[in-house]
Structure 1
Amino acid sequence: GANGAGKTTLLRALCGALPVCSGTVTLGNHRIDGLRTWTRARLGLAHVPEGREIFVSMTVRENLETAALASRRPTPIEEVFALFPRLRDRQAQRAGTLSGGEQQMLALGRAVMARPSVMLIDEMSAGLAPVAAQRLVEAVGDVRARGVAVVLVEQAPQLVSAVIDRAYLIERGAIVAGGTLEELGGATAIAELYLGVG
């Protein structure tokens, strides 16, 4: 959906940052609407918000170690470093001094540390150079290969087409279309018809 369509609001409601006005939210066999955000995280839900929300005064390693506290079985930090070798190189550096792409890698790495079963990612490529955005897409593919379900909000369907199974289009808070990219006419058609870009 376009700006203001309700994509970020949906993710915030799923993770518990906003109340659900109607319907239910389930994770596995657990109904989670009404549960606190940290409880949802303990049940396996990770949220990578737009704007990254990392701890800028902490080092990369401290950010990752703090994120591990959300899980009873955190991912070993070396697995995150294997996913993002730049973070290993920068582990002693303050997060606020990283480039935008590196900060987004750190935000995704923090979510991976919690060993989620579902990851909610909001506009991960916003403001990034194409090379950095492509590296993040590859990382999402690696995360999915580990069995993590990913709900990805992205206004660049061409960028993420290789790592998504289904796409949903949102207008004014409601899903107006959904299906495989092929069923929706392809990533280029989605960008042109629904998002007004192309």
Structure 2
Amino acid sequence: DAIKILSCLTRLRQLCNHPKLFIEDYKGESAKLDALLEILQEAKSGGHRVLLFSQFTEMLGIIKNYLKDDYNILYLDGKTKVEERLNLVERFNSGEGDIFVISLKAGGSGLNLTGADTVIHFDPWWNPSVENQATDRAHRMGQKSVVNVFRLITKGTIEEKINLIKDEKSKVISEVLDGEKRELLKMNRDELLKLF
């Protein structure tokens, strides 16, 4: 059953982020969260301002909890009302906040966040265009800084496999759009399905 498979894949992806998403009374640490905290500490000491994306709002809650004492954070997810979104964007672009913590789906389009010069994707998403749209929030008109992008991927896990699939899809899309390898258009249905 496809729904059960997707549910299991989601659980594996959550486990990569933090075991607390999978194991209710988990008291230990998360290597990925530790890596994030190191990156954020370096970013802050270097005067960088960060957009931090995750597709799991529960993970964003855990991250917010870890950051609340050391960083000035702004937060946006799918429950944030439109007026408040605009207010948060204006505040961030005006210099308020070190880190803007954003749900990937809620922040993937329509926001102009040129106040950031660093983008961090805490977890990979199957569709490269969704991540690219989120990253593009910092690459808008008015951006005066070079924007660094980090994607945190747990080695030897489902996340690495997702990343490989994403890279293959991006390559195929690029080749088709660029017209460099028109033979891709001649692929049969089974060959095309293997790409997804």
Question: Normalization by structure 2: what TM-score?
Answer: 0.36
Question: Normalization by structure 1: what TM-score?
Answer: 0.36
Bigger RCO of structures 1 and 2 (CA < 8 A, at least 6 apart): 1
